[in-house]
Amino acid sequence: MSTTFENVKTPSYVIDEEKLIKNLEILNDVQVRSGARILLAQKAFSAYSTYPTIARYLSGTTSSGLFEAKLAFEEFHDETGEKKEVHVFEPAFCDDEFEEVCRISDHIVFNSLSQLEHHRRTWEKPALEGQLFVGLRVNPEYSTQEGHEIYDPCAPGSRLGIRLCDLPDVLPKGVSGFHFHTLCEQGFEPLKETFEEFEKKFVKYLGRENDSQIKWINLGGGHHITRDDYDRDGLARLVKYIREKYDVTVYLEPGEAIALDAGYLVTTVMDIVKTDRYPVLILDTSAACHMPDVLEMPYRPPLRDSGEAGEKKYTYRLSSRTCLAGDVIGDYSFDKEIKIGDRLVFEDMAIYSMVKNNTFNGMPLPDICILRRSGECDVVKEFGYDDFKCRL
Ligand SMILES: *Cc1c(COP(=O)(O)O)cnc(C)c1O
């Protein structure tokens, strides 16, 4: 079904194809200049109707487990049918899922030596025959984030990644790569520092001289490569240095950067409630249900044609039709008075939104649309009562 942006049913997520392609062109340029292989981290964005477009530019996908890996295996192809890489990392793999994980993946990353050995009987044969690449996630123990502990895998007590002190001098047989993921929405400088720390600590496993078994290094995600101010020249230099010095394939697996600023959540004002502070707009969307990172991260989503509270003439608190008192998106101001029935457009809503939403309070899920370069808006998914009922 096709409509226009002005007429989409609300609430709807609208993916902006032109902006998505702009990001993909930037990422492909980094691949070409640096020799890195860039993967889509599906955890951030898995609206698979866009996969044929993304697969035209990127080298593959990464997954947090069987379901995401399966989605990539089924859907992530471009029109040439060229095989794209399926990577998977999970802190622990289920016994009854692992055979399938092995069958559909090219790279499997383990979070511990005990998981590596626990599943060895399943992965060892394809790995030794060169059909499958098996790696270890390491913890460089180098935090570059402050105040964001839930997104810092290097925070004290972290379960994510093996510390140098827990690795044997000789790596277990069959291991061919290292993986680390420590960043979140960061520029190039923290990656450079983290790599230098990783290199200092783990160099004994790398290098051409000692006939290293490490053939690939995955630098994880959290790189805001498509942001205007990202130092992409620096990134290309670092990747080239790693490839040339250690004779390895270098992977990057950003999620956010792929669909950064490439989607909207369109909503309608259902009511306006007077309070002892700002008047509250009751929207047909919800922070808790449709943009949970607003409460979890937390952050204030950009809203088209608006300012900070008090900046423009009319200030409102934007909230939701759920019964959760704290289901508040934020305080925003506008040049003109808002009326019931007005439509509002939240920006940068492609990432960590569709993949995280829920039907708490019996809230309907927003439809998913794609705004084509032609201006047409295709409705690719519609949700209703059954999507609520079937999960309970
Ligand atoms: C979350 C995650 C990513 C993607 O992170 P972004 O912040 O979306 O770029 C990549 N790799 C791993 C292991 C992750 O957990």
* Cα distance between residue 262 and residue 251, in whole Å: 23
Q: Is any atom of ligand 1 closer than 6 Å to the C-beta of 43?
A: yes
Q: Is any atom of ligand 1 closer than 6 Å to the C-beta of 44?
A: yes
**Whether 220 contacts 183, CB under 8 Å:** yes
Q: Is any atom of ligand 1 closer than 6 Å to the C-beta of 254?
A: yes
Q: What is the mean pLDDT of residues 222-245?
A: 98
CATH number among 3.40.50.2300, 1.10.15.40, 3.40.50.970, 3.20.20.10, domain 35-259: 3.20.20.10
- What is the location of CATH 2.40.37.10 in the chain? 3-14+263-349+357-389
Tokens at 376, concatenated = 């047409």
**Ligand 1 atom with least separation from CA of 185:** 7
pLDDT reported for residue 87:
98
Query: Is the pLDDT at 181 greater than 70, yes or no?
Result: yes
Residue nearest to atom 8 of ligand 1 (CA): 255
Dump strand ranges (E) for the chain. Answer: 2-4, 12-16, 37-41, 60-63, 85-90, 107-110, 133-137, 175-179, 216-218, 249-252, 263-273, 280-283, 314-320, 328-334, 343-347, 367-371, 376-381
Q: Is any atom of ligand 1 closer than 6 Å to the C-beta of 284?
A: no
To test the pocket of ligand 1, the residue of 38, 45, 107, 181 to mutate (highest count of ligand atoms within 8 Å of its CB) is 181
Q: Is any atom of ligand 1 closer than 6 Å to the C-beta of 363?
A: no
Q: What is the mean pLDDT of the chain?
A: 96
Query: Is the pLDDT at 305 greater than 80, yes or no?
Result: yes
What are the tens digits of pLDDT across the range 63-120? 999 999 999 999 999 888 888 999 999 999 999 999 999 999 999 999 999 999 999 9
Q: Is any atom of ligand 1 closer than 6 Å to the C-beta of 86?
A: no
Q: List Cβ<8 Å contacts ≥24 apart for 168-175.
A: 168/113, 169/204, 171/136, 171/205, 171/213, 171/214, 172/113, 172/116, 172/117, 174/120, 174/123, 174/124, 174/127, 174/128, 174/134, 175/116, 175/134, 175/135, 175/136, 175/213, 175/214
Give which of 8, 361, 118 is closest to 108, Cα–Cα.
118
pLDDT reported for residue 117:
98
Tokens at 344, concatenated = 């509002």
Query: Is the pLDDT at 276 greater than 70, yes or no?
Result: yes
pLDDT reported for residue 148:
75
Cβ neighbour number for residue 311 with a 10 Å cutoff: 12
For residue 12, how far is the Cα from the chain centroid? 20
pLDDT reported for residue 209:
62
pLDDT reported for residue 136:
98
Query: Is the pLDDT at 9 greater than 70, yes or no?
Result: yes
* CATH superfamily label, 3-14+263-349+357-389: Lyase, Ornithine Decarboxylase; Chain A, domain 1 (2.40.37.10)
Half-sphere exposure of 298 (CA within 13 A, CB side): 10
**Whether 234 contacts 192, CB under 8 Å:** yes
**Ligand 1 atom with least separation from CA of 179:** 13
Q: What is the mean pLDDT of residues 318-330?
A: 98
